[in-house]
Structure 1
Amino acid sequence: MRIFAEKLPEHLQHQLMSVYLLFGNEPLLLQESRLSIAQKAKAQGFTEIYRYQADSTLDWHQVFDHFQAFSLFSSQQLVELTLPDGNMNAQLTGQLLALGDMLHPDTILVVIGNKLTKAQENTKWFKALATHGCLVNCLTPDLNRLPQFVMQRCRKLKLVPDPEALQMLAQWHEGNLLALAQSLEKLALLYPDGQLTLIRVEASLSRHNHFTVYNWTDALLDGKSNRCQRILRQLEAEGTEPVLLLRSVQKELRLLTTLHAQQQDASLHTLMDKHRIWKNKRSLYVNALNRLSTDKLYMLIQALSHIELSVKTRYDINPWPLLQAFSLQFTQAGLTPAVPD
Structure 2
Amino acid sequence: MKTNPGQLSQLLRKGLAPVYLVSGDEPLLVQECCDQIRSAAKEAGFHDRLTFHADQQLDWNMVADEFNAMSLFAERRRIEIRLPTGKLGDGRAVLERVLAQPPEDIIVLLISSRLDAAETRRKWYKELQSKGVHVPVWPVDADKFQGWLQQRAGNRGLSLTRGALAMLAERLEGNLLAASQELDRLALLTNGNTIDEETVEQAVQDSSRFNGFELVTELLSGRAPHAGKMIGVLQQEGENPLGLLTVLSRDLNLLLELKTGENRTENPSAFFKKRGVFQPQRARALEQAARRLDPMQLHEAVKLCSQVDRAAKGFDELSPWHYLRDMSALLAARS
The answer, yes or no, to whether TM exceeds 0.5 is yes
Aligned counterpart, 2:133: 134
- 1:150 is aligned to 149
In structure 2, do the counterparts of structure 1 residues 29 and 78 end up closer, same or farther at CA, with 3 Å as the change threshold?
A: same
The Cα of 1:136 is off from its aligned counterpart by 2.0
1:16 is matched with which residue?
A: 16
- Give 1:195 shift: 2.4
Q: How far off its partner does 1:106 sit?
A: 3.1
Deviations 1:267-308 (A, max 9, x none): xxxxxxxxxxxxxxxxxxxxxxxxxxxxxxxxxxxxxxxxxx
TM-superposed CA distance for 1:184, in Å, is 0.5
Q: 1:224–1:53: structure 2 CA closer, same or farther, 3 Å change rule?
A: closer
Does the 8 Å contact 2:78/2:107 carry over to 1? yes
Q: Match of 2:180, SS? A: helix
Match in the other structure for 1:60: 61
Partner of 2:239: none
Q: Which moved more, 1:105-114 or 1:153-162?
A: 153-162
**Amino acid in structure 1 at the alignment position of 2:37:** I
| Percent identity (aligned) | 26
State the shift of 1:186 in Å.
0.8
Match of 1:25 in 2: 25
Partner-residue secondary structure (3-state), 1:144: helix
Aligned equivalents of 2:59 and 2:290: distance in 1? 42
**Residues in 2 aligned to 1:201 and 1:14: alpha-carbon distance in whole angstroms:** 41
| AA of the residue aligned to 2:99 | G
Which position in structure 1 is the counterpart of 2:189?
190
For the pair shown, the structure with the greater C-alpha radius of gyration is 1
Q: 2:254 corresponds to which residue? A: 214
1:110 aligns with 2:109: yes
Residue in structure 2 matched with residue 50 of structure 1 by the alignment: 50
SS in 1 for 2:143: coil
Aligned twin of 1:234: 282
The count of corresponding residues between Structure 1 and Structure 2 is 244
Which letter maps to 1:113?
Answer: S
Distance change in 2, residues 1:232/1:40 (3 Å): same
SS of the residue aligned with 1:131?
A: helix
1:173·1:208 contact (CA, 8 Å) conserved in 2? no
Q: Where does 1:82-101 land on structure 2 (aligned, <5 Å)?
A: 82-85=82-85, 88-89=88-89, 91-101=90-100
Deviation by residue 1:218-267 (Cα, 9 ceiling, x = unmatched): 9x9x99969856156313246751248999xxxxxxxxxxxxxxxxxxxx
- Counterpart amino acid of residue 113 in structure 2: N
Q: Aligned to 1:241, what secondary structure does the other structure show?
A: helix
1: CA distance between counterparts of 2:7 and 2:151?
Answer: 10
Q: Structure 2 vs 1, CA of residues 240 and 147 (structure 1 numbering), >3 Å: closer, same or farther?
A: same
Q: Secondary structure at 1:189's aligned position in 2?
A: helix
Aligned to 2:228: none
SS at match of 2:94: helix
- Shift of residue 2 of structure 1? 3.2
Deviates more, 1:170-179 or 1:75-84: 170-179
Q: Is the 8 A contact 1:64 1:99 kept in 2?
A: no
Give the whole-Å Cα distance in 2 for the aligned partners of 1:224 and 1:145: 19
Q: 1:136 to 1:168 in 2, by over 3 A?
A: farther
Q: In the alignment, is the contact (CA less than 8 A) between 1:154 and 1:160 conserved in 2?
A: yes
Deviation for aligned residue 1:80: 0.5
| Contact kept? 1:97, 1:125, Cα under 8 Å | yes
More helix as a share of residues: 2
Does the Cα contact within 8 Å between 2:86 and 2:112 map onto a contact in 1? no
**What amino acid sits opposite 1:184 in the alignment?**
L
1:282-335 per-position Cα deviation (integer Å, ceiling 9, x unaligned): xxxxxxxxxxxxxxxxxxxxxxxxxxxxxxxxxxxxxxxxxxxxxxxxxxxxxx
SS in 2 for 1:202: helix
Q: Secondary structure at the match of 1:172?
A: helix
TM-score normalised by the chain length of structure 2: 0.59
How large is the Cα RMSD of the aligned pairs? 3.9
